[in-house]
Chain A
Amino acid sequence: MNGANNMSDVNNMTDVSDLNGTANSMNGEQEHIFYARDLNIYYGDHHAVADVNLDIYSKEITAFIGPSGCGKTSVLRCYNRMNDLIPIAKVEGTLEYKGLNLYGSQIDPVEVRRRIGMVFQKPNPFPKSIYENVAYGPKVCGMSRNRSELDDIVERSLKRAALWDEVKGRLKSSAFGLSGGQQQRLCIARAIAVDPDVLLMDEPCSSLDPIATTRIEELMDGLKNDYTIIIVTHNMQQAARISDKTAFFTTEENAETGMRTGMLIEFDIAEKIFSNPNDERTENYVTGRFG
């Protein structure tokens, strides 16, 4: 670790405790699917996220929690290079997916996004039929040759997303006729239709009512057998309920520029983060004293 300034020194200390945490309380045999070292994100001049070191493990749910502006969504959007869509965004550092540098010059972001799917904060179905929404990904990825194959994919994906029984009679009607919770499950079905490896979820329940939220949480619990899931959430109870591991982010103000920079404070198994965290800031946040 080569800390050049004070801020990264502070952060590097947290890193060490992180890595220790990994050795102590995490299962050492698990394989990680994402490997991030010194990940920095900038929006123009704004240093949005500083020096994130984080391993994401396969076939489990990792939750990112923290106050607004702490950079959890920014970090999430690095994993499928969604930040590329923002012209002023710049990502530095190492981010590997199964040993491949995601930001290497040979990497095609489109290929990345086929394997690493995303579900957004607000349900954003296409203005098309329910069927066409789910079939869109397989179609543009050239996955299916014929209609019956596509029908199978659509049915399987909708079943996976626990939506099939509610919509099987009206696959041809507009996706906008669905309720918010159904739309979000449709977006999940759409994401898993291309058979990704990882699902990134950016506060997928923040615009849903408690019943719809519960359904999505149950769904995620079933999905983690097949997919690696990373979820950003503002809801700490949700993170505690569903996540296997939890990463806590927060922001600190730069004394010189006055701009806020997000950083990873602590990453550990969820139980430990919510019952006995190492860092005082994490404890303050999860017990509701801050943020």
Chain B
Amino acid sequence: MTTLEVKPSNDLSVDLTGKQSRRRKELFVHIVLAAAGAVSLIISILIIWSLLKEAWTFIFNVEWANVWSIGWFPRRGFYDVKTLIVATFITTGIAMAIATPLGLGAAIYLSEYASKRFRAIVKPILEILAGVPSVVIGFFALSWVAPQIVSRIGGSDGGSLMAAGIGVGILTIPLVASISEDSMRADPDSLREASSGLGARKRHTIFSVIIPASISGLVASFIVATSRAIGETMVVFLAGGAADTAIFTSSAYDGSLTMTAAMASLSSGTDSVVGEGLTFQSLFFVGLILFALTLVLNMIATRFVNKVRERY
């Protein structure tokens, strides 16, 4: 048996140490980017902490009978959160009942039916619509939707949860349409060809192949829009039909305050909210509930998406 002898090379012209300054620059970039990421994390923690701190005071000092009472009259010590939660669910429900079919329909049309040229014109318009300030939509809901639509379906021509919900729905249509369209367009054409090649009609291809394949994006668009609808403040504040107090109601035709509208009206009053018992702290309590609600919603969404997603 022979052993292979390896002779180390003594070639001194090779230098693999690299330039110190370049390695330092690399480290610098690394730190800057890590810091940028850390800032948003720190801000999130600060938000939660400030919410919890004031909400804590509220939770430990409030008369709980007043938290489940006749309505939201914070300056008089009645903090009925179910008034706010029910109003929020009503406006969000109405908004999604409008935004989901219209947004999804628009997305399917743009992605599967519209010509390239039509899409090139309409998609940017849709995105401009998404940028309309919510205060404008709020006025639109109050001055047009309420008298022209709500009053004709049995409501009043002033502000109501129905008017606010329709306003929020209009606001979220472009959001649903845009995200859904992106996710359906991301499906490869080979899927559409495979389906057509089997003698499937367009509607079969869309409902049996394209939509299932892009379900995670569609659910994402629904969740983002729902979160947006729950968190929307200006439209429900302007068109919700209640100024700063509200009696409990479960009718969409009544005026009421959503969680966000209640917070906005409390903190925008002319008299200071501080010092009125637990009025100031109640803001944070409502904020905490709002935060928990959207968190749970997002968690459900993530679970759902993981369960139904068709993997490529």
State the A residues within 8 Å of B (CB). Answer: 80, 82, 85, 87, 110-111, 113-115, 117-118, 120, 122, 124-128, 136-137, 139-141, 174, 176, 187, 190-191, 194
Contacts and interface: CB of A to CB of B under 8 A. Distances in A.
22 contacts: A80-B197, A113-B197, A113-B198, A120-B193, A120-B194, A120-B197, A124-B190, A125-B194, A126-B191, A127-B191, A127-B213, A127-B312, A136-B208, A139-B208, A140-B195, A140-B199, A140-B204, A174-B310, A176-B312, A187-B194, A191-B197, A191-B198
Nearest to B200: A140
B310 A137 contact: no
A194 B208 contact: no
Given A120-B194, A140-B208, A110 B116 contact: no
Contact of B198 (A85, A128, A137): A137
A187 B115 CA distance: 29
B185 interface: no
B22 interface: no
Q: Specify which of B191, B193, B197, B209 lies most central, judged by the most chain A CB atoms within 10 Å of its CB.
A: B197
Interface in B73-121: 115-116
Contacts of A80: 197
Interface string B31-47: 00000000000000000
Contacts of A174: 310-311
B200 A110 contact: yes
Interface residues of B, number: 23
A128 B191 contact: no
Interface string B198-213: 1111001000110011
B196 A85 contact: yes
B192 interface: yes
Nearest to B197: A118
Given A82-B197, A127-B213, A127-B312, A122 B208 contact: no
* Nearest 3 interchain pairs by C-beta: A114-B199, A127-B310, A118-B197
A44 to B, nearest CB: 13
A185 to B, nearest CB: 14
Given A82-B193, A87-B116, A122-B190, A127 B199 contact: no
Contacts of B204: 140
A87 B113 CA distance: 11
B198 A194 contact: yes
A126 B213 CA distance: 8
Contact of A194 (B188, B199, B209, B311): B199
A125 B311 CA distance: 11
A127 B194 contact: no
A128 B200 contact: no
A111 B190 contact: no
A137 B199 CA distance: 7
A176 B191 CA distance: 13
B275 to A, nearest CB: 60
B212 A128 contact: yes
A114 B196 CA distance: 9
Given A87-B116, A126-B209, A126-B213, A176 B311 contact: yes
Interface string B118-149: 00000000000000000000000000000000
